[in-house]
Amino acid sequence: MRIFVAGASGVIGRPLVRRLTGAGHEVVGMTSRETGTRAIEESGGHAVVCDALDADGLRENVGAARPDVVVNELTKLPRDYDARKLDERFYGPTNRIRTVGGTNLLAAAVGAGAKRFVTQSIAFLYAPEGEMIKDEDGRPWTEAAPPFGDGVRAMVAHERAALETDAIQAVVLRYGWFYGPGTYYARDGSIAGMVRKRRFPIVRGSDGLFSFIHIEDAASATVTACERGDPGIYNIVDDEPATVAEWLPAYAEALGAKRPWQVPGFIARLLGGTAARMVIGLRGASNARARRAMGWEPMYPSWRAGFREALG
C-alpha cells in the first residue's frame, strides 16, 4: 500500500516508517523541518517538508502521494519533560497541532481519496471514576482542570471528527505512556534525569495506574492498524497497568539509580502541581480489544521486561 505518515521524523514516526517499509509498503513521510528528512529517508521512506498548519500545502503533498492510508503522528511536545511546567507552554502547541493540524490532515486525506485514516490519541484520558482499568468505552475526563483538561478536550474533539467522517475509515489508537529510545523515559531522557536526581518521588497511598507501551510496540500496532481491523478506537498499551509504587523502583533499578523518595499524598497535591494530581486516581487501560479485533500482541507485554531490556 501507499501510506502517508505525518509526523514521520518524531519519536514514533521513525520506527513506524522503518516498520512500514520493512513490511513492503511505499511510504511518504512528512516532517515540518528540513533536518527531519534524513531520518525518514534512512528508514526507507520518501521525505516531504510541510507544516500541518498550512492547509493548502498539506493538501498538495497528500494529494501528490496518492495514499491508500494516511497516518497522523503529529505532536509538538517540548524536548524535556518538567513536572513543574505542565501548563499551557507544555500542552498548547500540541493541542493546536492536534486540532488545527489534525483537521487539515483529515481533510487532505479525504480529498486525496485515501481509504483509511489512522490517528493517535492517549490512553490516559479516562475519567477517575468507577473501575481502575478502562476499556475504550470509558468516559474521557473532558472536565479535568486545565491544562490537562484542555489536552483531553482537544484529543477527544479530533477523535470524534475522524470517526464521524463518512468518507474514510478512521482508526483511533489511544497510546499508553511511551518509553524506549527517544522518549522521556529513555536512558538519556528527561524523566530518567529526574529519577537519577531523586526528583521523581513515589506518592504514598496513590492508587493511580500507569499503562505503558514501548515505542516499538506502539509502532507495530500502528502498522497493524494500517493493514487491518475495523474502524474504531483501540487502547494500545501493555498488559500490566501499575501504580507508581510498583513501576518507579523497577525503573530506577534499570537506570542504576538510587531508590526514589516517598512523599505523602497530601504533600504531593500541595507541591507537586499538575503532574502529582494526575497520578492520584489515574486510570489504567485494557488492550483486550486491540488483541482480539486486530490480532496485535506487544513484544513487551510488561514494562518489567521492557525497562530491563529496552529503555534505549
| pLDDT (mean) for 183-190 | 97
Report whether 44 contacts 22 (CB < 8 A).
yes
78 phi and psi angles, rounded to 5 deg: -65, 160
> What mean pLDDT is predicted for residues 44-65?
98
Cβ(46)–Cβ(27) below 8 Å:
yes
User: What pLDDT, on the 0 to 100 scale, is given for residue 147?
Assistant: 84
Mean pLDDT computed over every residue of the chain? 93
Confidence of residue 264 (pLDDT cuts 50, 70, 90): confident
Q: Are 125 and 141 in contact (CB under 8 A)?
A: yes
The pLDDT, as a whole number, for residue 272 is 56
Backbone angles phi, psi at 55, to 5 degrees: -60, -40
Q: Dihedral through CA 283, CA 278, CA 199, CA 271, nearest 10?
A: -140
> What mean pLDDT do residues 151-164 have?
96
pLDDT in tens, 222-261: 999 999 999 999 999 999 999 999 999 999 999 999 999 9
Residues 238 and 298: beta-carbon distance below 8 Å: yes
pLDDT in tens, 8-22: 999 999 999 999 999
Cβ contact 233:136 at 8 Å: yes
Please check whether residue 145 is in contact with residue 153, taking contact to mean a CB–CB distance below 8 angstroms. no
**Cα–Cα distance list, 266 to 84, 204, 272, 276, 287 (Å):** 17, 9, 10, 10, 32
Reply yes or no on whether the pLDDT at 274 is more than 60.
Answer: no
> Which CATH number fits the domain 2-179+212-237+286-298, given the four candidates 3.40.50.150, 2.70.70.10, 3.20.20.105, 3.40.50.720?
3.40.50.720
Task: Report whether pLDDT(187) > 80.
Answer: yes
Res 148: pLDDT: 87
C-alpha cell at 219: 509502532
Encode 114-148 in three state secondary structure.
Answer: CCEEEEEEECCCECCCCCCEECCCCCECCCCCCCH
- For the residues 259-274, what does the mean pLDDT come to? 70
Instruction: Check whether 293 has a pLDDT greater than 90.
Output: yes
d(CA 111, CA 26): 20
Q: Indicate if the pLDDT at residue 6 is higher than 70.
A: yes
Assess whether pLDDT exceeds 90 at residue 263: no
CA distance 269 to 280: 9
Domain ranges across the chain: 2-179+212-237+286-298
What are the CB-based long-range contacts (under 8 Å, 24+) for 86-94?
86/147, 86/148, 86/273, 86/274, 86/275, 87/147, 87/274, 88/146, 88/147, 88/150, 90/147, 91/147, 91/148, 91/150, 91/151, 92/147, 94/151
Of 184, 201, 190, nearest in space to 271 by CA:
201
> Rounded to the nearest 5°, which phi and psi values hold at 117?
-130, 115
* Tens-place pLDDT, residues 69-95: 999 999 998 777 766 555 566 778 999
**Do the Cβ atoms of 81 and 99 come closer than 8 Å?**
no
